[in-house]
Amino acid sequence: MALTYCFESNLIPSVLAKCRKNDLAVVDTEGNEKAVRNAVSRGVYVYGYLNVGALKKQRPYYEKFHHIRLAKYSGWDGEYWINPTAKEWQEHIISEAKKIKATGAIGLYLDNTDIYYMCLQGFKEEKTKMLQSAPSAQAVYNGDPIDLPDPLTQATA
């Protein structure tokens, strides 16, 4: 089983076409419904990517929510942490999840859920461990293979 992340819309069809049965792919489903359905029909586990804690300037709904941004998201150009407690953002996330479900994806990959905790504990974006170990933005957007440690073989402290 291989794991693939891809968020660059024009690359998603070719990335999903390379996936085999039982592979896991996390993709931005918007505009890629046909490729998602095709991959799922071949036995690929396709999860739709949903960023619940950040807002990207390139999204069509950016202007609608820019007033609830919290801070720039370091390392991700044009992306901002967003207030996950805002009712309008929560309603938007539910709407987006329904759209992803309609594409045929078998589940959701919820990104940046830690912002909720960060809001409760005080916003210290630069200190999150997530940023220290995250794959590069370019690798994620291009669908490059990502080597993940096997949690079963890692020693515990």
Element (H, E) at 82: strand 79-82
Domain boundaries, the chain: 3-142
- Under 8 Å CB-to-CB from 65, ≥6 apart: which residues? 55, 82, 86, 88, 89, 92
DSSP-derived 3-state class of residue 37 = helix
The reported pLDDT for the residue numbered 2 is: 83
The reported pLDDT for the residue numbered 85 is: 86
For 3-142, which CATH class? alpha beta
What pLDDT, in 10s, does the model give residues 44-65? 999 999 999 999 998 999 999 9
Q: Band the pLDDT of 7: cuts 50, 70, 90.
A: confident
